């Protein structure tokens, strides 16, 4: 019979191996969902990069992936809103000031709409609910995400005919927000057919 110390060490090693193997499998499944879902997104490379580094809960199905995509978009929108608010206090040229003020309002609306999008996705019932209920929540999520994307574009439209460093900075921030929001909307639209069911890996 093996000494108690050896049995104890063997038990610890076995637990470590099981935990490591399980963790790797979970990560691989999440990566598979991200890569396969991002393949036909509006901006595939950006989609893979932002969702592969997503620091939230492990993604196990496409509904969770859509929520993660919206959270990424919301995070970028909030960051852009903070930067725009700071620029608004510094800019002095009249046309630039007006454009930035409008942009602050637009990004504020976008943050609110993305928050509503996320709420709709969290209420989305992927099983046990009626088709009409699912469609209603899907419509809400799609409508709010589309509105957020429109606000992002409207912000940039306000800088037409204006050149300079302020425009370049705002364009960089808002283009990033618009692109991740476009990817998020794509992920939401995919749920219309997939209904957020768990992604089954191919053998």
41-62 pLDDT per residue, tens: 999 999 999 998 887 778 888 8
150-180 pLDDT per residue, tens: 999 999 888 888 888 999 999 999 999 999 9
Query: Torsions phi, psi of 39, nearest 5?
Result: -55, -40
pLDDT at 6 over 80: no
What pTM, to 2 d.p., does this model score? 0.78
**Cβ-based neighbours of 56, under 8 Å, separated by 6 or more:** 68, 71
Q: What is the largest CA-CA distance in the chain?
A: 86
DSSP string, 25-64: HHHHHHHHHHHHHHTTSSSHHHHHHHHHT--SSPP-BHHH
pLDDT at 18 over 50: no
CA distances to 95, 100, 177, 186 from 43, in Å: 32, 26, 12, 10
In this prediction, residue 191 carries a pLDDT of 87
Cβ contact 171:136 at 8 Å: no
């Amino acid at each position: 019979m093996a000494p108690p110390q050896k049995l104890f060490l063997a038990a610890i090693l076995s637990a470590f191996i099981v935990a490591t193997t399980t963790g790797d499998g979970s990560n691989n499944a999440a990566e598979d969902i991200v890569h396969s879902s991002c393949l036909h997104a509006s901006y595939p490379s950006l989609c893979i990069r932002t969702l592969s580094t997503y620091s939230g809960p492990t993604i196990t199905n496409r509904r969770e992936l859509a929520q993660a995509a919206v959270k990424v978009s919301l995070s970028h929108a909030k960051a852009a809103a903070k930067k725009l608010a700071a620029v608004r206090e510094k800019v002095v040229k009249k046309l630039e000031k007006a454009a930035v003020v409008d942009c602050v309002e637009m990004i504020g609306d976008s943050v609110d709409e993305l928050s509503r999008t996320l709420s709709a996705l969290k209420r989305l019932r992927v099983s046990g609910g009626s088709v009409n209920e699912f469609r209603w929540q899907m419509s809400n999520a799609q409508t709010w995400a589309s509105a957020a994307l429109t606000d992002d574009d409207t912000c940039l439209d306000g800088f037409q005919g204006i050149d300079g460093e302020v425009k370049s900075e705002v364009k960089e921030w808002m283009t990033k927000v618009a692109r991740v929001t476009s990817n998020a909307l794509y992920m939401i639209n995919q749920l219309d057919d997939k209904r957020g069911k768990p992604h089954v890996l191919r053998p």
